[in-house]
Amino acid sequence: MNALLPDRSATEFTWVRDVAEIAVEAGSQLRRFFEAGVATEYKGEVDLVTIADRTVEAYLRRALMDRFPTHGVFGEEGTRDRLDAEFRWYVDPLDGTTNFAHGFPHFCVSLGLEKQSPEQRAPEMPANEDGPIVAAVIYDPMREELFVAEAGKGAWRNGQRMAVSATPHLAESLVATGFPSRKRHSNPNIHFYHEFTLRSHGVRRAGSAALDLAYVASARLEAFWEFHLNPWDTAAGYLLVEEAGGCVSTFDGAPRRLDSREVLASNGHIHAELLETFERLFSGRDLDPIASPAAYAARHRAAQIESREA
């Protein structure tokens, strides 16, 4: 475990060392479930949930409450403990459940810690502005990669300090996004996916927002955007990106929110270009039409005819 964290001479953490141990154990449980295979069920129309989600969240709740008895816990699978506490953990026991359920080895445990002011300590999500995220731990058990950060202490991967990429232009950038598992027809992201595919070096859709944010922090990606994420998806990743020197906002450049319906994270160097691109796309300017299957088939038939006649 210690090999995955920076040496104490490099930085002294307040929370991360204890929570990293908890996250690695949770990841080990996920890996055992993954290798054994698990049955899935649906929560809602198409959202998957497995026994692994519930078992690992129960473990995380117990472990966090044992280690930090005055902290709150807000988990994806229903944990709601001490939400009026000064410190609140946002817990995703399995970010990438669909990948997990299909045997696709790309998922993680994500834990982010918010410090709330007395005015923010409401029974549910605070209605006013968020408190600062002060600690983050994301663990990928299949690659045995541990991403950690504390406010003001930098971001780290397996004991090595991370920094966002220096790529200066969108055209040279590898970017990522995600799509919802529900209400897909009301989500406009397919249009943005198309446009950013044309304007960047490539777009990836790997199925774990937490890992996408960690990858922006570690310079594997230049940017990530998505609609309609939840606090447990993003809390840890936000801090990783910011501590690695990147930028997180909404699509119009407003400060990011834990309950934001829009997430845009980047290396900072291309952020202004990304914001300008979103503004143009939302206004309907400079859109490149997506060719329909019928149009493709017609062009293909025309090319075949032209080839036979040549």
In a domain, 18, yes or no: yes
CA-to-CA distance for 180 and 183, rounded, in angstroms? 7
Residue 127 has pLDDT above 60, yes or no: no
Domain boundary among 161, 193, 227: 161
In a domain, 206, yes or no: yes
Domain boundary among 136, 161, 186: 161
Contact call for residues 179 and 205 (beta carbons, < 8 A): yes
For residue range 3-19, list pLDDT tens digits in order.
Answer: 889 988 788 999 999 99
Please choose, from the candidates 38, 56, 184, 45, the residue with its C-alpha nearest in 3D space to the C-alpha of residue 99.
38
Helix (H, G, I), strand (E, B) or coil at 223: strand
Do 235 and 118 have their domain in common?
no
Higher pLDDT, 250 or 46: 250
**How confident is the model over 63-91, as a mean pLDDT?**
91
For residue range 251-306, list pLDDT tens digits in order.
Answer: 999 999 998 789 999 999 999 999 999 999 999 887 777 777 887 788 878 888 88
Computed over every residue of the chain, the mean pLDDT equals 89
For residue range 193-212, list pLDDT tens digits in order.
Answer: 999 999 999 999 999 999 99
CA-to-CA distance for 218 and 158, rounded, in angstroms? 11
Q: What is the pLDDT of residue 46?
A: 44
Do 26 and 125 have their domain in common?
yes
For residue range 94-105, list pLDDT tens digits in order.
Answer: 999 889 988 999
Do 57 and 204 have their domain in common?
no
Q: Structural domain of residue 248, as residue ranges?
A: 170-282
Q: Which amino acid is at 15?
A: W
Helix (H, G, I), strand (E, B) or coil at 269: coil
Tokens 């060719």, located at residue: 291
Q: What is the pLDDT of residue 182?
A: 61
CATH number for position 207: 3.40.190.80
In a domain, 130, yes or no: yes
Do 214 and 157 have their domain in common?
no
Give CA separation, 28 vs 24, 38, 40, 66, 273, in Å. Answer: 6, 15, 19, 19, 40
